[in-house]
Amino acid sequence: MRNGIPVSPGVAVGTAYCIDEIFVNPDTKRLEPGEVQAELARYERARVKTAADLRALTQKVARQVGPHEAAIFASHLAILEDPAFDEKTRAWIAEHHETAQAALHHLLNEYASLFARTKDEYLKLRLNDLRDVVLRISGHLSEVLQPDGKAIAGPLIVVADELLPSHVVALGDRPVMGIVTQAGGQTSHAAILARSRGIPAVSGLRGILKQVKTGDRIVVDGRDGHVVVNPDAEIESAYRKLQREFFLLKDQLAANRDLPAKSADGETVQLLANINNVADVKAAAAMGATGIGLYRTEYLFLTHPSVPDEEEQFQAYREVIAASPGNTVTIRTLDIGGDKTVPYLGHAREANPFMGWRSIRLSFEHPELFATQIRAILRAAAEQEASGRTVRMLFPMVTTFEEMRRLRTMVDRARRQLESRRVRVGSVPVGLMLEVPAAAVSIRSLLPTVDFVSIGSNDLVQYLMAADRDNPKVSHLCQPLAPPVIRVLTDVIAACNAANKPVTLCGEMAGSPRGFLLLFGMGLRSFSMSPAFIPSMKELLCHLTVAKAESIHRRVLSHKAISQVTRYLTEQIKKIAPNLAMLDTA
């Protein structure tokens, strides 16, 4: 048994699928002599498809973003068509009887070792380009295989160093029942993905990829942070019993989806959903969401083969809006940067990318790309006004008053562009996503510039605590229940309520029983969370009164240590709704 950071509650038993950052499995079987030619042909088909992808990308990015940004794909095509690259890969297949995936893995390792010895920054950047090319080829070759080359049957437990948005795209609709990562914490992307799908996950297990191989039996206990590799029959039976209890509780809670979201004393609350695509919208409706509090549009860009143009974005947004439950859909503009990157917006290396050229800062750098998205949102909103739906536009990582005024100007300009084309434009409320401490400190001066506020607690916590949320060594600091975080949230919510500006919290804190209890006591009445957690929060809410929650909040404000806050809130949850304790991480 290994102990890590519990990041998504529940228990899962399944088959391990180990991945590295480019989805090449070095443990794949060796080929029989009669299989070599077929494998060479499979590699060639993938290489040709990759070349076609890169040519199309070069043309589209040059047209929509600019020739400088398109040059990256021209260089990737040059790598792909380099005779040395092709010959080395074919040699690993033909002479060593490796699969195409394993051959690419060996090739990448060979170049990585070579480039590691150089001090030339240009060559180091070329290694990133090589990784991208290998990732594209691997994407055309990708299959979930055991070491013997047979497809894995049954539920999968993904084991990885870390799980990035690009990896999530590559996993697609495979039956992932649990996630284990070496890196990351409670607000990492692996954690967010796991909670959005309602599946157990444990992070921070250093060295786990050396102890687990694809095809192993593995248990994930996301409540206590335990991972068991190849358990004996008795241990597996015990965990399967816990797994059944977990799913039974989720099924029981899902039955409340048609009930109103009200507290025990009749206070109405908005339980909204965080979504990435139409599939998530359907899950939100099935779980009883009262609207969409956060539509992360970057996943449209991450999954698109090139750059989505205005018409493609318009169609995607209108599809999401039309399928959404309730009357409110909040669309966040492109939140790229940090660990979410698209090649056509550059590969600049930054010492600290999470505090660098990302989100709204990147959008300012590419005003036409940004304007295209704004126009698509305004068009989609216009279509829905007749049905009574409100579409809101949310800007991520706003830091200053000047930025918010500039954003307003850009929205007005996009509106005029559409009107000049005689295109109908929707009336769209504009809001800021409060993630930066500077914005929290100056919230009262920012409120006159916005129509609403969404608190992004995941980033706000890591910036306040100066602790990278994906680094397990500092995960003990990156806690939403830390007293400094609680005080900042208390002040922001109070300021918004006093100014009569709608405020929602859309970080992972909203879907945690302890976090929800505390936020309700602060006066928050709009929560946005992973769809899987809406029934649980509705269940908690019906046992709460405003007076009780406010009393708990006042008591928490007197605590000085994270451990005191956590212990006290855990005790309160057990008293108020004991059945929900299983759905909160330790």
List, by residue number, the catalytic residues. Answer: 189, 506
What kind and span of H or E run contains 249?
helix 233-254
φ, ψ of residue 89 to 5 degrees: the values are -65, -45
What kind and span of H or E run contains 557?
helix 546-557
Q: What is the DSSP letter of 425?
A: -
- What CA–CA distances, in Å, run from 326 to 58, 70, 271, 507? 41, 41, 10, 20
Handedness of CA 537, 200, 5, 159 (dihedral sign): negative
Using CB atoms within 10 Å of the CB of residue 251, give its burial: 0 to 12 exposed, 13 to 18 middle, 19+ buried: exposed
Do 430 and 451 form a contact (C-beta atoms < 8 A)?
yes
Q: What is the DSSP letter of 501?
A: -
Q: Report the C-alpha gap between 123 and 304 in whole angstroms.
A: 28
What kind and span of H or E run contains 48?
helix 36-64
Q: What is the DSSP letter of 281?
A: H
Q: Coil, helix or strand for 327?
A: coil
Estimate to the nearest angstrom the gap between the alpha carbon of 332 and the chain centroid. Answer: 13
Q: Read off the amino acid at residue 547.
A: A
Q: Report the C-alpha gap between 568 and 504 in whole angstroms.
A: 25
- What CA–CA distances, in Å, run from 226 to 180, 199, 351, 406? 10, 14, 33, 48
Q: Read off the amino acid at residue 158.
A: V
- Taking alpha carbons only, the member of 135, 145, 204, 200 closest to residue 169 is 135
Q: Coil, helix or strand for 106?
A: helix
CB-based contacts of 562, cutoff 8 Å, min separation 6 = 476, 479, 481, 482, 483
Q: What is the DSSP letter of 388?
A: T
- What CA–CA distances, in Å, run from 14 to 175, 180, 585? 10, 12, 20
> Would you state the structure tokens that stand for residue 571, as one six-digit string?
């005790």
Q: Read off the amino acid at residue 153.
A: A
Q: Report the C-alpha gap between 224 and 205 in whole angstroms.
A: 13
Do 41 and 245 form a contact (C-beta atoms < 8 A)?
no
What kind and span of H or E run contains 63?
helix 36-64
